[in-house]
Chains A and B, each alone.
Chain A
Amino acid sequence: MNKEDLLKKYFRQSLSEEEEKEFTLLLESDHDFKALYEEYSNLNLAFKSHEAEELKAFLTSIDEQEGVKKIIWYKSSTFYYLVAAVLIIALCLPFLLKPSASSLYNEFYEVYPNVEQPVVRGSEETNTYNAFKAYEASNYSLATKAFEELLQTNSNPNYKFYFAMSLLNDGKFDQALNTLKDLEDLKFSYTDETLWYMSLILIKQEQPLKATSKLELLDKLGSSFKSKERKVLLQKLQDN
C-alpha cells in the first residue's frame, strides 16, 4: 500500500491490524513519511477546528431561526387576532351550539294573513275595511291605529286578534303579547293562532318554559293548526 493511502486509512480510522503495524513502523523509520503524517495531521486538526466553528454558527442560526419564528408568531397581529377569535368562539360556544331565541323565532314566525275581511275594489271604505287594507298593505303602524280606533266601538275578538298581529308585525312584542293574553281564554275564530303567536313571542322574550306550555296547551286542545311546526318547535325547545 502506498504511503498516501496508508495515511488516508489512518485518518479515516479504518486501518486493519496489519496496516496499523505497517503504519507504526513507517512512522518510526521513515522521516519523509513522518513529515507527511505531521503535515496531514496539522491540516486535519486545523480544518476540523475551523469546520467546527462554522458548524457551531450553523447550529446557532437554526436556533435563532426557530426563536425568530416563535417571536414573529407571538408578536404578529395574526397571533393576537387568533387568540381573540379563539376566546370569542369559546365564550360564544354555548350560544353557537344552541339555536338562539331570535333564530328560533325567525325560523317559525310568519305574518298571519288577512283571512277575516277580504279587501276588494269597490268595497265600502269603512273603518274595518281601512284597518284590514292597511294590514294587507303591510302598513302595520297604520293598521295598529286603525284597529285601535275600531276596537273602541267594536269589541269583536277577531279584530282584537288582528290588532295584536299588527302590533307584532310592527315589532311591538310586549303590547302584542298583552293583547293576545286578553284573548287566550276565549273560544273564538283565532284561539289556536292566539296561542301559537303567544308561544312565538315568549320564545323571542326568552321564556321557553312558558312558550312550551302554550304549545302543549294546543296539543291538549287537539289543534291541527301548524301541527308539524309545533312538533319541531317543541323538540327544539326541549333540546335547548
Chain B
Amino acid sequence: MAETIREDDLQQRLRAEDKSALEFVYKTYKSEFINYSRRFELKNDDALDVYQDAIIAMYQNFTMQQLELTSSSIKTYLFGIGKHKIYKLCKSKNKQIEIENNIEDFEDIELNDDSLNYYQKELSKLIANISDSCKELLRLYYYRNLTVQEIVEQTQYKDANTVKSHKSRCMKRIKSLVSTK
C-alpha cells in the first residue's frame, strides 16, 4: 500500500489535517521505528512512546506550519525527529549511546522546545471548558494559523466580520475563565 500512495499526495493530506493520512503514516513506519530504536537499547514501551511523540511533532508541523518537505521524505523526516527524541531520552537516563557507523542512519532533527509555562498550562486545560464552536474557531486561528479569510473559505462562516466578532466573543470567554481561576 505504501507504494500506491504518492509522497506529495500524502504530504498534502497531512497539511490538510487528514487523520486517515496520519493513521497511514503511523502504521506504515511503526514496526520499522521500533526496530530502529532497538539499536539504542530502548524498551518497547519507551520506543512506542518516542514514536508517538515523533509522529505528533511531525503531524503538527504539517498542520500548523503547512510544512512542505522537498529535500527529504516523510520517513526520513519522521525518523530524524524520532532519533533526536531517542537521544534526549537516553540523555535523561544517563545512558551512553554508541552507534555503529556503518549502518544506515538518519540525521537527527531538533524541533522547538514546546514546554509550557504555568499560564499556558492553565490555558491548555481551559480549552476543554469552552464551547465547541469557540474551541474550533480559536483552534483554526491560533493552532492551524489560518487567516480570517482562510477560515471563511474553509468553514460555514459567511464573512470575515462574522469570524472576527465570534473570535472576539470567544476570547472574552476564555479570558473570563482565566480570571476566575
Residues of chain A whose beta carbon lies under 8 Å from any beta carbon of chain B: 4-5, 8, 11-14, 40, 42-52, 55-56, 58-60, 62-63, 66
- B99 part of interface (Cβ distance < 8 Å): no
- On whether A62 and B120 interact (CB within 8 A), knowing A13-B65, A50-B127, the answer reads no
Q: Render B49-84 as a binary contact track against A, CB cut-off 8 A, 1 for contact.
A: 000110110011000111000000000000000000
7 smallest beta-carbon distances between A and B, as pairs? A46-B123, A47-B143, A43-B142, A46-B124, A49-B124, A50-B127, A55-B56
Contact assessment for A11 and B127 in the assembled complex, using a CB-CB cutoff below 8 Å: no
Contact assessment for A12 and B145 in the assembled complex, using a CB-CB cutoff below 8 Å: yes
Q: Which of B66, B116, B120 has the most CB of A within 10 A?
A: B120
Q: A34 vs B9: C-alpha distance in the bound complex, in angstroms?
A: 38
Which residues of chain B come closer than 8 Å to A47, judged between CB atoms? 124, 127, 138-139, 142-143
Contact assessment for B147 and A42 in the assembled complex, using a CB-CB cutoff below 8 Å: no
Stretch with Cβ within 8 A of A (4 or more), from B19-27, B86-94, B101-109: B19-27
Q: Which of A47, A51, A52 has the most CB of B within 10 A?
A: A47
Q: Which of B52, B60, B138 has the most CB of A within 10 A?
A: B52
Partner of B138, one of A13, A43, A66: A43
Q: Which of A44, A55, A60 has the most CB of B within 10 A?
A: A55
User: Who on chain A is nearest to B141 by CB?
Assistant: A43
Q: Which of A46, A50, A55 has the most CB of B within 10 A?
A: A46
Q: A219 vs B142: C-alpha distance in the bound complex, in angstroms?
A: 96
Residues of chain B whose beta carbon lies under 8 Å from any beta carbon of chain A: 19, 22-23, 26-27, 48, 52-53, 55-56, 59-60, 64-66, 114, 116, 119-121, 123-124, 126-128, 138-139, 142-143, 145, 147-148
User: Who on chain A is nearest to B66 by CB?
Assistant: A12
Which residues of chain A come closer than 8 Å to B55, judged between CB atoms? 55, 59
Partner of A11, one of B52, B64, B119: B64
User: Who on chain B is nearest to A55 by CB?
Assistant: B56
Q: How far, in Å, is A55 (CB) from chain B's closest CB?
A: 5
Q: A59 vs B29: C-alpha distance in the bound complex, in angstroms?
A: 13
Q: A43 vs B27: C-alpha distance in the bound complex, in angstroms?
A: 31
Which residues of chain B come closer than 8 Å to A40, judged between CB atoms? 142
Which residues of chain B come closer than 8 Å to A58, judged between CB atoms? 19, 22
Contact assessment for A43 and B123 in the assembled complex, using a CB-CB cutoff below 8 Å: yes
Contact assessment for A62 and B114 in the assembled complex, using a CB-CB cutoff below 8 Å: no
Q: A46 vs B141: C-alpha distance in the bound complex, in angstroms?
A: 13
Partner of A50, one of B27, B53, B124, B148: B124
Q: A50 vs B60: C-alpha distance in the bound complex, in angstroms?
A: 12
Q: Which of A43, A44, A52, A62 has the most CB of B within 10 A?
A: A43
Contact assessment for A5 and B116 in the assembled complex, using a CB-CB cutoff below 8 Å: no
Contact assessment for B56 and A45 in the assembled complex, using a CB-CB cutoff below 8 Å: no
Q: A5 vs B148: C-alpha distance in the bound complex, in angstroms?
A: 10
